[in-house]
């Protein structure tokens, strides 16, 4: 009897020791492990499932939208489960909540491949990987930055090569910054060239080397160096906005020139032998046929 009690006490002590080690190893996760249904307990309570997008709940007229709106249904591939019947996981979340109006969101394409994680404790499911996307959304409260900065290649054959964060930039880079007030984009090359685009609620400005384009509600200006074409609601100017010399109307000028030359051919000069045409009168007629040559075929004004 005494030996049996010792054996029981020893087993109980070993169980207490194992349980203590288990709690130390798992920390606060122990509660989630204990919550998990039978057969899914252990260190991990989450399960990765590979499948396809069976339905996207984005139609308010659909009968299931009230319950599953903002989520997707995922069909599990047969080789992922021992079930002989197709398994459809309904209400898989694309973001932290079913309200997809803000934040980071990817909506996969119908029937595309996805990987989801299923929490055995809470039964919640989330998409973690996509093969194809219909929509990618980035909506932040302050700033969104998207960019690429090229660096020198990592020398994998050398033990002394710098780490990725220590590689020297080549000078080629592009970035776009979005704020609530506007957008700013820049592109730079290793040759020292740079273009910049800025946009706010009232203006758009583009700059490329010596060239500029500026657009606002009442004016558009294209400028290269000191030369500019400016369009406003009242006029169009070439050369500079303060230009004062008016442009001519081509067809009206041609008509005027034709009438002028025609009159010149009629000039008569009194001489001792009577009234005679001008000596160079024959030279005027050929000029009439050349008038149409100075009219542009591509540029017009009114």
Specify if 117 maps to a domain.
yes
Q: What share of the chain in percent tops pLDDT 70?
A: 84
Window from 25-34, 159-168, 197-206 with minimum mean pLDDT: 25-34
Whether residues 197 and 177 share a domain: the answer is yes
Closest CA to 148 of 168, 169, 178: 169
Whether residues 103 and 167 share a domain: the answer is no
- pLDDT at position 90, please? 95
Whether residues 95 and 148 share a domain: the answer is no
Mean pLDDT of the region 270-277: 82
For residue 22, give its domain range. 2-35
DSSP of 14-55 = HHHHHHHHHHHHHTTHHHHHHHSPTTS-SS--EEEEEEEEEE
Whether residues 23 and 60 share a domain: the answer is no
Whether residues 148 and 100 share a domain: the answer is no
Specify if 300 maps to a domain.
no
pTM as predicted: 0.69
Q: How many domains does the chain have?
A: 4
Whether residues 131 and 149 share a domain: the answer is no
Specify if 266 maps to a domain.
yes
In terms of phi and psi (left: phi > 0; alpha: psi -120 to 50; beta: otherwise), the region of 260 is alpha
pLDDT, tens digit, 9 for 90 and up, residues 132-181:
999 999 999 999 999 999 999 988 888 888 888 889 999 999 999 999 99
- pLDDT at position 41, please? 46
Of 108, 139, 170, the one marking the end of a domain is: 139
Specify if 245 maps to a domain.
no
Mean pLDDT of the region 92-120: 91
Whether residues 194 and 210 share a domain: the answer is yes
Specify if 280 maps to a domain.
yes
Specify if 190 maps to a domain.
yes
């Amino acid at each position: 009897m005494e030996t049996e009690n010792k054996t029981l006490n020893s087993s109980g002590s070993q169980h207490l020791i194992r349980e203590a080690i288990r709690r130390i190893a798992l920390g606060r996760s122990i509660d989630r492990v204990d919550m998990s249904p039978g057969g899914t307990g252990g260190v991990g309570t989450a399960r990765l499932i590979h499948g396809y997008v069976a339905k996207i709940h984005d139609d308010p007229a659909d009968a299931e939208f009230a319950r599953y709106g903002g989520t997707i249904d995922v069909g599990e591939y047969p080789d992922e489960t021992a079930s002989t019947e197709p398994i459809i996981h309904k209400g898989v979340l694309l973001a932290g909540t079913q309200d997809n109006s803000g934040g980071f969101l990817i909506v996969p394409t119908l029937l595309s491949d996805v990987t989801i994680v299923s929490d055995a404790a809470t039964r919640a499911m989330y998409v973690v990987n996509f093969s194809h996307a219909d929509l990618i959304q980035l909506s932040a409260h302050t700033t969104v930055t998207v960019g690429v900065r090229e660096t020198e290649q990592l020398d994998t054959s050398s033990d002394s090569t710098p780490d990725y964060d220590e590689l020297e930039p080549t000078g080629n880079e592009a970035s776009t910054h979005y704020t609530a007030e506007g957008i700013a984009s820049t592109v730079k090359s290793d040759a020292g060239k740079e273009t910049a685009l800025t946009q706010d609620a009232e203006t758009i400005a583009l700059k490329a080397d010596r060239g500029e384009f500026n657009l606002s509600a009442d004016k558009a200006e294209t400028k290269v160096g000191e030369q500019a074409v400016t369009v406003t609601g009242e006029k169009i100017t070439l050369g500079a906005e303060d230009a004062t010399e008016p442009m001519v109307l081509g067809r009206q000028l041609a008509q005027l020139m034709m009438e002028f030359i025609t009159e010149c051919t009629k000039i008569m000069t009194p001489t001792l032998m009577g009234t005679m045409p001008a000596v160079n009168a024959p030279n005027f007629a050929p000029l009439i046929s050349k008038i149409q040559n100075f009219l542009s075929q591509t540029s017009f004004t009114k």
